[in-house]
Chains A and B, each alone.
Chain A
Amino acid sequence: MSVDERGTGSEAAPAGVVEAEPPAAGGPGGVGQPSRVRRTPLPLALLRNSWRQLTSMRTALILLFLLAVAAIPGSVLPQRNINIENVNRYAVEHPDLFPVLDRIGGFDVYASPWFSAIYVLLFTSLVGCIVPRLRDHVRALRAAPPPAPKRLDRLPQHAVLTDSDGDLAAIAAVLRKRRWRVVVRDDTVSAEKGFLKETGNLLFHFSLIGVLLGVGLGSWYGWHGNRLLVAGPDNAFCNNLQQYAESKLGHQVDGSDLPPFCLELTDFHAAFLPTGQPESFRATTLVEEDGAAPRRESFSVNDPLRLDGASVYLLGHGYAPILRYTDRNGEAQESDDAFLTIDGNLTSEGVAAFPDVNLDPATGARNPDLQVAFEGLYFPTTPDSPPFVRSTYPAERSPGVMLFAYRGNLGLDAGVPGSVYRLDQRQVSSGRLKQIGEGKLLRPGEKWTLDDGTSVEFLGTRKYITISVRYDPGERIVLISSVLLLVGLMPSLFGRRRRVWFRISPVPPDGVSPADPLSPAPAGATTTSRSSLVEVGGLPRTEYAGFADEFDRLVAATRPEGGRPDGARDDGAPEDGAPEDGARDDGTHPGRARSGGATEEGTD
């Protein structure tokens, strides 16, 4: 990675690395440019300094950690947007703690000001970091590889070719063929490779911004609604807000934006294992879109129904018992309200309410004291013997419904919205709604005649499903950005920037033999019979363990006869090489010599 010793402004070690060192105490702005600093007004200098701080790698690191830490409470505390009931339960269980935690956003962590502040800062830092990098990178892509340093023998890789014919053009051709960027200057060839690393890095970081934008777009322009859908044409629904039990629209969406479609559940199939574990689900529906003829569509978990402008997801399922109540006037009414499942064997509980029964035969007026309701438990597989409280299997092997009858005022007119799955307990406790007799278990087709001669009959069940209807316009952007992110990540992590130089000397350079003990005198350099001598130097600019191998292969390939076959030392994937690291360790401090010229390469 950033083993870039010098950062010629083209890669690594820019902003982040340099500015990570805090400026000298009190000294605003960069230490290296005192004259400019003096001319800058203080507020501006402060501003610039803060900006530098913000876009430094150190700040990015801190923000990353803050982000990780800030995400933790969301997994410990229940979250409103995930499960509001758990939040309510928490409020009941921790009456003291709840208000405090709630005030600081503990139950909406990912929408809380502090969480948002962290990622906004992080992304600001990100933009501040990568925009200059992009500029530098574009510049580097256009620039020619830098001239050769004076002392090639000081570079981490160095070789002297004694049998070369000194054809620089041929060498350049070999390099070009291997996709190096090459420039020939007088007696040297400069070549550079591995720009893909920085390209990938930039792509990766810009994709992060794309992901964030996609998420934002989704939350502004997306919407979703959840509801329960009982089978049968009478229970079909058309897409509008009133039809949802629970819905949420993005900031930029209003109810009239919802795409028009209607949905009817015609069939639901569930298969279970003998243990009762569900095996597969499939819902079949009739869909009517944009006034087109209804078409049959089926969907299941993991396989949503894709409509124009929304998708329908299957979340759950259950049974809605069909009950027929025949009142004192002999009028019969049917109810097929869904009963909510309360366990894995699909024991379900619910209410069938008949507010408009036992009307005055003369006037047709409601008699508020003769309304009827049944509270019940439904068992798809009824236990063989009492107590009848739990189903023993989720499929309908021996259905039965345990009913408790009530007569009186249901309290529906009071205007207090109550649960449709429970009776209004206030009416019961006040005595306005009285239980009639004991509970009774009904099998399909069985009828229960109440004390006043009216009767209730259990006709069977309809299936119901719970669905979520969703639209998220940001999804595609997030997906594309994620793919690009991944594409960029690979070269960013595995790419290697490196440079090589070839220099021709007409005579064997006696002066090559350096004092540096790590670089022994090129034995044989003086015993050559050729007149030209090619000196080669290589510099990995990022940590690159296999560079020595590549360098040798490259050198061999540029020899006129082709040299020893490629890969003589290529015994597998590149290994970590000590030599390069040594180079790093005795190299300059990253970023210190940012503006230095290429000729200083490796001369520290």
Chain B
Amino acid sequence: MAALSDQLLVVAILGYLLAMICHAVEYAFGTRSVIGRAAARPERERVLVGAGVGAAGGSAPVVGTKLPGVDVPTPAGGSRSPRAVLAGRAAVAFTVLGAVVHLAVLITRGIAAERMPWGNMYEYLLSVTFVGVVGWLVLLYRRPTLRHLGLFVALAMVLLLAVAGLVLYVPIVPLVPALDSYWFVVHVATIAVSSGILLLGAVPAVMYLLRHGYDQGKRSFPYSLGARVPAADTLERLTFRLHAFAFPLFTFAVMAGAVWAEAAWGRYWGWDPKEIWAFISWVVYAGYLHARATPSVKRPVATWIAVLGFLTMQMNLYGVNIFFEGLHSYGGLD
């Protein structure tokens, strides 16, 4: 079972790699105008469709709803290359495949270890990335026009899983007694889910910054990527919603960790390096939410704070396990 899990990891990475390639193909073939238009318009189209139905079905009682024009929604109007569409669909299919295999990696690993697969950094990173990819697919389902972000999601998945497999890999061992607690399960599960979503949230955040720079006329390298991503507004709202969703969960996860720490070590908070960096991330994300709620803070500034929060999360994920000595250093990397 353990060996199967390891082999499946390779398959999962391959799946994401193929997804990445297909996304890249779509990206290369897709024309800016199509993507730009389709991406900027999804809500409006939906609402229009809705309004149309409403009007037709209900003898037009509701009139004058403040919606622009009556143009017929043409989701993929314009000169859309069929090759690009095909590549995009294939990319999503490969992502789904990757995610399914990814889940299988976790399940087989869990079966082999006879416990939840969250005992060390390798397993933990696999779980976080899985949450990230599921979050991505859910998002994609609800907002198909965001598909172009998939290139970056797939890239992140390939890189992270490769790091997991090559750097962090450890053979299966059961949990040490300190980790044998229900609160540990709750804590790690919620941390993994919230980290996964925050990880995902960083994608639109960075895209937004690129797009915003592009919209401001910046054409140099990183900003040139902004040409092909969805509208700045859409990205910014998405960034916020992912963070707003993940923040309470992350808060809860930290609290669960504190409850567990109380039982395991006798204190709920002891400024262990892991705790310190969780605190830092929490404060930075709280800063992001504040900044975004404050009209005098510009949206790009607020979004930079979210990116900073993401960096602190990464510091906690890798840096703390590798560089510092602490109670949480169970990464298995000694």
Contacts and interface: CB of A to CB of B under 8 A. Distances in A.
Contacts of B279: 68, 71
Interface string A536-563: 0000000001001100100110010001
Classify chain A: how many residues form its interface, as a range: 35 or more
Which has the most chain B C-beta neighbours within 10 Å: A12, A58, A569?
A569
15 contacts: A13-B295, A20-B296, A58-B294, A74-B276, A224-B266, A275-B173, A277-B173, A300-B177, A302-B184, A489-B247, A518-B66, A524-B60, A552-B62, A572-B142, A575-B42
A248 B37 CA distance: 65
Interface stretch (A134-142, A153-161, A415-423, A450-458): A153-161
Contacts of A373: none
Given A157-B65, A493-B247, A575-B43, A75 B273 contact: yes
A279 B177 contact: yes
Given A64-B283, A273-B173, A552-B65, 17 more contacts: A17-B296, A20-B294, A57-B294, A57-B297, A61-B287, A68-B283, A158-B65, A163-B61, A277-B176, A470-B267, A493-B248, A519-B66, A520-B64, A522-B64, A524-B60, A578-B47, A590-B295
Nearest to B141: A572
A577 interface: yes
Given A82-B271, A568-B53, A65 B295 contact: no
B277 interface: yes
Contacts of A60: 290
B58 A301 contact: no
Nearest to A585: B233
Given A486-B248, A490-B248, A518-B68, A568 B289 contact: no
B197 to A, nearest CB: 14
Contact of B260 (A16, A302, A470, A478): A302
B237 to A, nearest CB: 5
B70 to A, nearest CB: 9
Sort chain B's interface into a size bin: 35 or more
Contact of A157 (B54, B66, B273, B293): B66
Contact of B64 (A109, A158, A281, A571): A158
Given A61-B297, A71-B279, A489 B251 contact: yes
A564 B294 contact: no
Contacts of B266: 224, 304, 311, 313, 315, 468, 470
A555 B63 CA distance: 11
B280 interface: yes
Q: Which 4 interchain pairs have the tightest Cβ spacing?
A: A522-B64, A569-B50, A564-B58, A313-B266
A157 B60 CA distance: 16
B186 interface: no
A286 interface: no
Contacts of B283: 64-65, 67-68, 71
Nearest to B51: A569
Tell me whether chain B's interface is mostly helix, strand or loop, or mixed: helix
* Interface core residue of B54, B66, B264, B325 (most chain A CB under 10 Å): B66
A301 B177 contact: yes
A485 interface: yes
A58 B296 contact: yes
B125 to A, nearest CB: 20
A103 B289 CA distance: 36
Interface string B229-248: 00001100110010010011
B78 to A, nearest CB: 20
B176 A569 contact: no
B296 A486 contact: no
A161 B64 CA distance: 10
B63 A160 contact: yes
A545 B14 CA distance: 38
Nearest to A512: B64
Contacts of A257: none
Nearest to B176: A278
Contacts of B259: 479
A146 B325 CA distance: 59
A213 interface: no
Contacts of A573: 142
A576 interface: yes
Interface string A51-70: 00000011011001101100
Nearest to B64: A522
Interface in B191-233: 233
Interface of A: 1-2, 12-13, 16-17, 20-21, 57-58, 60-61, 64-65, 67-68, 71-72, 74-76, 79, 81-82, 86, 109-110, 153, 156-163, 215, 224, 273, 275, 277-281, 300-304, 311, 313, 315, 468, 470, 472, 475, 478-479, 482-483, 485-486, 489-490, 493-494, 512, 518-525, 545, 548-549, 552, 555-556, 559, 563-564, 568-569, 571-573, 575-579, 581, 589-591
Nearest to A5: B295
A478 B252 CA distance: 13
Given A20-B294, A74-B276, A548 B47 contact: yes
A301 B264 contact: yes
Interface in B262-311: 262-273, 276-277, 279-280, 283-284, 286-287, 289-297
Nearest to B41: A578
A13 B297 CA distance: 12
Given A161-B61, A489-B247, A72 B280 contact: yes
B255 interface: yes
A301 B180 CA distance: 8
A555 B65 CA distance: 11
The A contact surface, by secondary structure, is mixed
Contacts of B280: 68, 71-72
Interface string B11-46: 000000000000000000000000000000011101
A512 B47 CA distance: 23
A1 B241 CA distance: 11
B290 A302 contact: no
B178 interface: yes
Contact of A559 (B61, B63, B177, B180): B61
A64 B176 contact: no
B240 to A, nearest CB: 8
B318 interface: no
B81 interface: no
A500 to B, nearest CB: 13
A276 B96 CA distance: 40
Contact of B50 (A281, A559, A568): A568
Nearest to A535: B64
Nearest to A67: B283
Contact of B63 (A20, A485, A524): A524
B320 interface: yes
Given A68-B287, A273-B173, A525 B272 contact: no
Given A2-B295, A61-B294, A475-B268, A304 B66 contact: no
Contacts of B276: 71-72, 74-75
A119 to B, nearest CB: 10
Interface centre among B173, B180, B181, B184 (most CB of A within 10 A): B180
Contacts of B296: 17, 20-21, 57-58
Interface string B47-80: 1001101100110111111111000000000000
Contacts of B263: 302-304
Interface in B156-200: 173-174, 176-178, 180-181, 183-184
Interface centre among A76, A512, A578 (most CB of B within 10 A): A578
Contacts of B284: 64-65, 68
B320 A75 contact: yes
A395 B60 CA distance: 82
Nearest to A487: B248
A522 B173 contact: no
A96 to B, nearest CB: 22
B181 A65 contact: no
Contacts of A163: 61
B248 A578 contact: no
Nearest to B274: A75
Contact of B54 (A65, A483, A568): A568
